[in-house]
Chains A and B, each alone.
Chain A
Amino acid sequence: LKNNEKTPVQAAKVQTINVAAPNNNRPYTYPKGSGIGGYYGDLLKQIDKDLPQYKFNETTTSQNSVFVGLQSGKYDVAASNWWYSKDRFKTYLHSDSNALDDLRLVTKKGGKTANSLEDISKKKLKLVPISTDDARYSFIETYNQQNKKHKISLEGIGDQSAGDALKEVSNGKYDVAIYPYAAYKPVANKAEGKKLVVSKSIGLENSYFLLNKNSKNKALVKAINNDLKKLKANGYLEKITKKYLYEDTFKLANANKTFNSEAHK
């Protein structure tokens, strides 16, 4: 980066962009070599290839740390399945939607079941604690604000893998967990997972890249958005969705209506 600044001609050509992703969010992101693996690993590599004027420098770290770095300007882009929140979009630049998540409720086989967030509240089910950095945490908080009558009791926790969380459902410590299908699925095949059942889709959520607010990144967002449009159109997003997320979320009901719906709020 420093060298580029010294030679402006070159700087106009290739800019290095620091991209960070959580190290604990399979199948979306995880450490792979010195870079990012999973859904966003593939997506970023594709975008990097499509945008010759940028060079992505990838790293993984704990999720809170991703945002400390994003905020302080150490990272330009935070990549994972970040959902919409007003505050986030105010604090950071954001791209257009880069994926669709299919939310499900997971319960114990033969135990209490739930098919909607309201069910959880009505049946007084105990929800597995959610990592406070996690999009699901503010998802439930938002739900609680909008549904004061049917509030869900929400506990926070540090970084925790889906496997650990779902184990707490299978051993009866908690009644229900809320997860994107893709996070539930890899557990489903393990011994612990066989004790679980999963609900129908209870909603779709868009994911967005978040970027540090600076003029350089404004241009970057534009470039990324253009590329995302292309990748949606040419089926690349669907391709990696099928590859990593165990189903094609773009084929689900309301997918087209939902996709990219909050992007320009």
Chain B
Amino acid sequence: MFDSNFAIQSFPKILAVAPMTIYLSIIAAIIGLILAVLIAVVRERKVPVLSPIIGIIVSFIRGTPIIVQMYVVYYGLPQLLIALQKWGISTNSSGVPAIMVAITAYSLNAASNISESIRSAYHSVDYKQYEAAISVGMTPVKAMTRIIVPQLIANLIPNFSNIFIDLIKDTALVYNIGIVEIMAKANIISSVGFKYIETYLDALIIYIIICWIFAKLFQISEVIIRRRVFATQRIN
């Protein structure tokens, strides 16, 4: 029943689209990180009106399955663009590529998760470090960038690593909107003969390896950063 030849032949074909999975995850992580910083700043500074609104949006995004979000964006984005057209803003509603939908959904998702992690990493930096900085005459901005942020980054890495690995795994759903990444390729190759077990096993192995590599990379970078930032492996 298990066609090991087919499994072996399919492996390189599926591996060939792994860059799509990684690309999607990295783009979503980068955009997510940028948005997350903005969100964290707005939320921490308690910017009136904006802060509670963003709080609700973040809660909503964190509280709903990504596949549902993806469909909402998939079906909602074109309608939004059509609506914008009616308002006289020129958009091309028919031209929203699936990859844009995926990046939008996954970036928003990453942004809300990362923003929470940034906030908790920020709170885990000893507040007195900030006071020490301004007491030697630094401006608040300098105190943040020179003292708080480097320490925050070291605290952030473990959580960020988890979020990124979840992101890689979650992209296994984007085949639903027609993006050819690992799962989609596995499905496509399988459909010819309706043989799925082989390709899914290939996909599983590829996912495990990718996740393992990234987990290790983050682990190493945490050790390096901790050593650079604090000259210790762990802060007390």
Direct interface between A and B, CB < 8 A: yes
Interface, chain A (partner B; CB < 8 A): 64, 67-68, 70-73, 78, 82, 85, 87-88, 90-92, 129, 132-134, 137-138, 141, 155-160, 171-173, 210, 212-213
Is B78 located at the chain interface by the 8 A CB criterion?
yes
Given contacts A129-B178, A132-B184, A158-B177, contact A71 B197 (CB under 8 A): yes
> A138 to chain B: which residues have CB within 8 Å?
191-192
Of B188, B194, B195, chain A has the most CB atoms within 10 Å of the CB of B194
Q: Once bound together, how far apart are the Cα atoms of A122 and B86, in whole Å?
A: 35
Q: Is B184 in contact with A172, judged by CB distance below 8 angstroms?
A: no
Q: Which residue of B lies closest to A85 (CB)?
A: B192
Is B176 located at the chain interface by the 8 A CB criterion?
yes
Shortest C-beta distance, A177 to chain B (Å), equals 14
Q: Is B191 in contact with A71, judged by CB distance below 8 angstroms?
A: no
Q: Is B192 in contact with A71, judged by CB distance below 8 angstroms?
A: no
> B176 to chain A: which residues have CB within 8 Å?
157-160
Contact with A along B151-195 (1 / 0, CB 8 A): 000000000000000000000000111101000100110111111
For the complex of A and B, the 4 pairs showing the least CB-CB separation, nearest first, are: A87-B193, A157-B178, A158-B176, A173-B94
Interface, chain B (partner A; CB < 8 A): 1, 3, 78, 93-95, 98, 175-178, 180, 184, 187-188, 190-197, 200
Q: Which residue of A lies closest to B189 (CB)?
A: A132
Q: Is B175 in contact with A157, judged by CB distance below 8 angstroms?
A: yes
Shortest C-beta distance, B23 to chain A (Å), equals 18
Shortest C-beta distance, B5 to chain A (Å), equals 12
Q: Is A134 in contact with B191, judged by CB distance below 8 angstroms?
A: yes
Q: Which residue of B lies closest to A71 (CB)?
A: B197
Q: Once bound together, how far apart are the Cα atoms of A3 and B114, in whole Å?
A: 53
Q: Once bound together, how far apart are the Cα atoms of A73 and B1, in whole Å?
A: 9
Q: Is A72 in contact with B197, judged by CB distance below 8 angstroms?
A: yes
Q: Is B191 in contact with A68, judged by CB distance below 8 angstroms?
A: no
> A92 to chain B: which residues have CB within 8 Å?
194
Q: Is B190 in contact with A67, judged by CB distance below 8 angstroms?
A: yes
Shortest C-beta distance, B93 to chain A (Å), equals 7
30 A–B contacts from the bound complex (CB under 8 Å): A64-B187, A67-B194, A67-B195, A68-B197, A71-B1, A71-B196, A78-B194, A82-B194, A88-B192, A88-B193, A91-B195, A92-B194, A129-B178, A132-B188, A132-B191, A133-B194, A137-B188, A155-B178, A156-B178, A156-B180, A156-B184, A156-B187, A156-B188, A157-B175, A157-B176, A158-B178, A158-B184, A171-B93, A171-B94, A173-B78
Of A67, A90, A138, A159, chain B has the most CB atoms within 10 Å of the CB of A67
4 more A-B contacts (CB under 8 A) besides A133-B190, A159-B176, A171-B78? A71-B1, A85-B193, A87-B192, A212-B1
> B200 to chain A: which residues have CB within 8 Å?
68
Q: Once bound together, how far apart are the Cα atoms of A85 and B192, in whole Å?
A: 7
> B1 to chain A: which residues have CB within 8 Å?
71-73, 212-213
